[in-house]
Chains A and B, each alone.
Chain A
Amino acid sequence: MEIAVEIIRAENVYKSFDSKVHALCGCSLSVQKGEVVAIIGPSGSGKSTLLRCMNLLEIPTSGKILFEGTELTQKHVKIDAYRQRMGMVFQHFNLFPHKTVLENIMLAPVQLKRKTKAQAREAAMQLLDRIGLADKADTYPNMLSGGQKQRIAIVRALAMEPEAMLFDEPTSALDPEMVGEVLDLMRSLAAEGMTMVVVTHEMGFAREVADRVIFMDEGRILEENRPEELFDHPQHPRTQLFLSKVL
C-alpha cells in the first residue's frame, strides 16, 4: 500500500455570488495523488463551483484551497504557475476556434516555454495519435464532432503534463453516441494513475472508475464514500432520494 500524498485540498470553502446566491457553504475536500474523485449531485448543487474553485477560476469568498501544500487562495500566490499543473476540461470544450487542432494543443506549452515548437509539435502529434485523431491535426475545431472536440480538449490540457485534471461535466454537452469515446479516454487516464476530479452525471462511470464519490446538494458535501458503498447503501436521505431518481 502506497502512502497517500495529498495533492488538492479545499478547506471550509464558501462561495457566494453578489452576496446573495450562496453556491458553496463550507465545503472541505482532500484529493490524494493518483485518486479519481467523482462529484455528483443535482443541478445547482455547487459541484461545478467547487471544481472551479480548485484552480481559482472562481475565487472562494472564504476558505482555503491548497495545492501540494501551497495555499493558492493567498493574495501573493502566482496562480498561473499552479494552473499549469492542473489541467481543466469544460462542458463546452472551449477549443480555440481560430486555431487548428495542432495549434490548440501546442499553444500553452510553447507560450509558457515548456517546450520548443518542434518538441511541442511532436508531443502534440503523439497525443493525437493516442486518441486516433492525428489526421485532424490541421483542421479547425468547427469541422469536428462533439466527441472529437472534447477528446482534443482533454489532450490540450494533457500537453501541459499536469499533475491533476479537473473535469467539469465533460460529457453533458455531447450527443449520447459520443459519450463513450470521451469516457474511454478518461478511463485510460485513470488507469495510468492520473489524479482526477470529475464533476459528472454519468453514474456508471463514477461507479466504475472513481475511487471515491462525493454527493453534493445546496452547496454542501452531504456524503462521501467508496462508490459501491455510496451507490448501494447511501446514508443521507437526500442522497437516497437523488439516487432513486437517477439510477
Chain B
Amino acid sequence: MDWNPFEGMSPSNFFNFSFLPKYLSFFVQGVEYTLLLSVVSVALAILPALLLALMRLSKWKPLKWVSGAYIAVFRSTPLMVQLYIIYYGLFSLIKVPTYTIFGFIDISRFIPGVVVLALNSSAYVAEIIRAGILAVDAGQMEAARSLGLSKGTSMMLVVLPQAIKNILPALANELVTMVKESSICSVLGMAELMWGAKTVANTTYKTLSPYVLAALVYFLINFPASKAIEAIERRMRRGDRR
C-alpha cells in the first residue's frame, strides 16, 4: 500500500514558510487590519451596550423588551449571517466611498465590517455590563437613593464606578474573542489576517502553511493577552476586601 493518508501532513508542509520573504506584508498588514478592526469595533460597541444594559435593567417594560430582543437576535444568529445581511442590505443603501487609509485599509469595506462587528459585539458587551451592574450589592443603590439622589445619579456616581471593576476583565476577553471572530470579515474581502493567509495560499498554491502561520499569529496575540487579563483580574480581586 503506497497510498499514505497523512501525506501532505508532514511537518515540512506544516511549517514550510518559504513564502514568507515575498509575502510578509500580507501578514503584517493583516495583523494591523485585524487589530484595528477588533479594537475599533469593541470600542464603538461600549456606549450602545451601556444603553442596552440600562434598558434591560429598566422597570419600564417596552425598553426592556426592545433591548432584550436586540440582544437575543444578535446572540442567536451567526456572525457571518449578520455580516452578509447587513453588508448586502444596509450597505447597498448607504454607499461608503472607496478611499484608502494607512495605505492598505479600504474604508468601503472596513466601515461595514466595523459596523457589523460593533452591532454584534454590543449585544455581548451589554450582557457583560448588565452582569457587572447586577454584581454590585443592591444596598449601594438603596443607600444612594435613601440620601435623595436620583436613580440616574446613583447609577452614574455609585453603582457604575463599582461595576467597572467587574466589567473591564470581561470586556478585555470580548476583545480577544473579537480578534478571532473578525476573521469572518475575510469573506467580504477585508484585508485582515485571515484574508492575507487565504490570498497567500491561493497565490502560492501552498494550501496549508499560510493558515498555520495565521493560526500561530492569532495564538501569539490572544494567548498572552488572555493570560495578562487573568493576572490583572487576580490582582484586582486581591485588592477587593472592602
Given A94-B137, A96-B158, A98-B162, answer yes or no on A88-B146 (Cβ-Cβ < 8 Å): yes
Point out residues on A near B: beta carbons under 8 Å: 55, 57, 80-88, 90, 92, 94-98, 107-108, 111-112, 140-142, 153, 156-157, 160
Q: Please give the distance in Å from B181's CB to the nearest CB on chain A.
A: 33
4 tightest A-B CB contacts, nearest first: A142-B242, A84-B148, A94-B143, A108-B147
Q: How far is the CB of A15 from chain B (nearest CB, A)?
A: 16
- With A94-B142, A96-B140 known as contacts, the answer to whether A80 contacts B241 (CB < 8 A) is no
Output the nearest chain B residue to A104 by Cβ-Cβ distance.
B143
Q: Which of B137, B139, B148, B153 contacts A81 (CB 8 A)?
A: B148
Set of chain B residues within 8 Å of A80, measured between Cβ atoms: 145, 148-150
Q: Are B147 and A160 in contact (CB under 8 A)?
A: yes
Structural contact, B162 and A108, CB atoms closer than 8 A: no
Q: Is the CB of B148 within 8 A of A160?
A: yes
A58 to B161, CA, bound (A): 25
Q: A156 and B147: CB pair below 8 A?
A: yes
How distant is the Cα of A88 from the Cα of B242 in the complex, in angstroms?
A: 21
Contact call A94/B147, Cβ cutoff below 8 A: no
Interface size on B, residues (CB 8 A): 19
Selected from A82, A84, A96, A142, the residue in CB contact (under 8 A) with B143 is A96
B28 near A: Cβ within 8 Å? no
Q: Is B73 an interface residue (CB 8 A)?
A: no
Determine chain B's interface SS by DSSP, over half rule.
helix
The closest CB in chain B to the CB of A156 belongs to B147
Interface pair A107/B157, CB less than 8 Å apart: yes
Closest CB in chain B relative to A148 CB, distance in Å? 13
Distance of B60 from chain A, by nearest CB (Å): 14
Instruction: Tell me which residues across on chain A come within 8 A of B158, comparing CB atoms.
Output: 96, 107
Residues of A within 8 A of B150 (CB): 80
Interface residues of B in 84-133 (CB under 8 A from A): none
State A201–B139 Cα separation when bound (angstroms).
21
- In the complex, chain A residues whose CB is within 8 Å of the CB of B147: 83-84, 87, 107-108, 112, 156-157, 160
Residues of B within 8 A of A96 (CB): 140, 143-144, 158, 162
- A111/B149 in contact, CB under 8 A: yes
Bound state CA distance, A95 and B142, in angstroms? 11
Residues from chain B with Cβ under 8 Å of A160 in the complex: 147-148
Asked whether, in the complex, the Cβ of A57 is within 8 Å of the Cβ of B142, the reply is: yes
Q: How far is the CA of A81 from the CA of B158 in the complex (A)?
A: 19
Please state if A92 and B139 are interface contacts (CB–CB under 8 Å). yes
Choose from B137, B153, B157, B241 the contact partner of A142 (Cβ within 8 Å).
B241
Closest B residue to A159 by beta carbon equals B147
Contact B146 A97 (CB under 8 A): no
Give the CA-CA distance A112 to B157 in the complex, in Å: 13
